[in-house]
């Protein structure tokens, strides 16, 4: 329990630090979004309208501490202001349209990469010296060293542009509207294959190598030797005794891996024009949409922190030794 309380305290401090940095960094930059918008109209707006723009985007006059308290209140009420690039839509409305696509792509790639990588790692350790152990670890590590954007552009060029096997981008066909139908679901899956493949191929090597190394050390433990001496089936020894205990470090690193997958997913969404949070962040940077950028950075940071907290809670449930700390 003390372990969990320490972790929760750490994540609360990290969340507060992220929120505070998210407040001060935009204000440390010269000017503000309202001034940028005002200047873009080239004299078409009156000077008194600048103050209205500042109030609309949350850059009000007054002491910095009062602005900070106002900012915290806005976060608590999920009021991130108005999007510049999608004016007059609210930032929360803009994010909600892309969040579902990001969660879908992220969940699919993270779960498949985790399960497939760990399964191959178990096979490589159990059949140590075989072709799985000889070929797959170096191959997946080599491919995993490629930057996300490079592999994404390569797959897009070869399988999308040259061969025409997969679509060049977006989340579903242009002639379809979001609806609950088999045709729409298949279109979503079909358009997701290339972005998901990019993320899975890059991330699978880390899971495989980590599980293989942990599994090899676990196979030397006495309880595994005892299980084999009892004449238990090899499949049961491999899965129930060795793999189950070797999985704990992978579960611990699951939250950390989420951060890398999210960063790679942002780049992948940009390359494939996939309408998720990453593509929204790219468009926000292009259009100098400070309120949207600020909200997206904060959301991504807090999502990684929450995921790590959930992993810690799961780790406490899986490993009884942690509960007594």
pLDDT by residue (tens digit) across 77-118? Answer: 888 877 777 777 788 888 888 888 888 888 888 889 888 988
Residue ending a domain, choose from 77, 105, 131: 77
> Where does the chain have alpha helices with state H?
2-28, 33-40, 48-56, 64-76, 91-126, 131-144, 148-155, 182-219, 222-229, 234-236, 244-271, 277-286, 290-318, 320-323
The reply to whether 147 and 288 lie within a common domain is yes
What's the total number of domains in the chain?
Answer: 2
Helix (H, G, I), strand (E, B) or coil at 90: strand
Alpha-carbon gap, residue 38 to 50, rounded angstroms: 6
Closest CA to 152 of 265, 47, 59, 305: 265
Please write the tens of the pLDDT for every residue from 62-82. 677 777 888 888 888 888 877
The reply to whether 71 and 115 lie within a common domain is no
Strand-pairing partners, residue 82, are 90
The reply to whether 172 and 300 lie within a common domain is yes
* Domain extent for 28: 1-77
The reply to whether 146 and 289 lie within a common domain is yes
Report pTM.
0.76
Residue ending a domain, choose from 44, 77, 110: 77
pLDDT of residue 48: 64
Helix (H, G, I), strand (E, B) or coil at 272: coil
The reply to whether 134 and 163 lie within a common domain is yes
Residue ending a domain, choose from 48, 77, 106: 77
Please write the tens of the pLDDT for every residue from 178-200. 788 888 889 989 989 999 998 88
Check pLDDT > 60 for residue 322. Answer: no
Any domain includes 150: yes
Asked whether 171 and 188 are in contact (CB, 8 A), the reply is yes
Alpha-carbon gap, residue 214 to 219, rounded angstroms: 9
Could you count the other beta carbons within 10 Å of the beta carbon of residue 160? 17
Any domain includes 207: yes
The reply to whether 224 and 156 lie within a common domain is yes
């Amino acid at each position: 329990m003390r372990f969990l309380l320490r972790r929760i305290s750490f994540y609360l401090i990290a969340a507060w630090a992220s929120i505070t940095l998210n407040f001060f960094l935009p204000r440390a930059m010269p000017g503000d979004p309202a001034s940028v918008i005002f200047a873009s109209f080239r004299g078409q707006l009156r000077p008194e309208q600048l103050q209205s723009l500042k109030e609309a985007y949350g850059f009000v006059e007054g002491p910095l501490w009062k602005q900070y308290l106002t900012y915290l209140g806005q976060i608590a009420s999920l009021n991130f202001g108005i999007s510049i690039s999608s004016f007059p839509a609210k930032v929360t409305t803009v994010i909600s349209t892309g969040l579902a696509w990001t969660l879908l792509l992220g969940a699919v790639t993270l779960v498949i990469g985790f399960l497939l990588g760990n399964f191959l790692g178990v096979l490589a350790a159990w059949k140590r010296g075989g072709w799985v152990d000889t070929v797959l670890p170096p191959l997946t590590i080599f491919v995993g060293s490629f930057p996300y954007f490079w592999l994404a552009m390569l797959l897009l060029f070869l399988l999308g542009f040259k061969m025409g096997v997969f679509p060049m981008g977006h989340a579903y066909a242009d002639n379809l509207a979001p609806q609950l139908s088999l045709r729409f679901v298949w279109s979503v899956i079909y358009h997701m294959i290339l972005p998901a493949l990019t993320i899975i191929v890059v991330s699978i090597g880390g899971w495989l190598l980590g599980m293989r190394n942990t599994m090899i050390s676990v196979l030397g433990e006495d309880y595994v030797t005892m299980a084999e001496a009892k004449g238990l089936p090899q499949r049961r020894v491999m899965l129930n005794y060795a793999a189950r205990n070797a999985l704990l470090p992978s579960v611990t690193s699951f939250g950390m891996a989420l951060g890398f997958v999210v960063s790679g997913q942002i780049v992948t969404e940009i390359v494939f024009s996939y309408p998720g949070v990453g593509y929204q962040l790219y468009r926000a940077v292009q259009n100098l949409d400070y309120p949207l950028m600020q909200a997206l950075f904060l959301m991504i940071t807090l999502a990684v922190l929450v995921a790590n907290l959930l992993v810690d809670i799961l780790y406490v449930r899986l490993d009884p030794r942690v509960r007594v700390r």
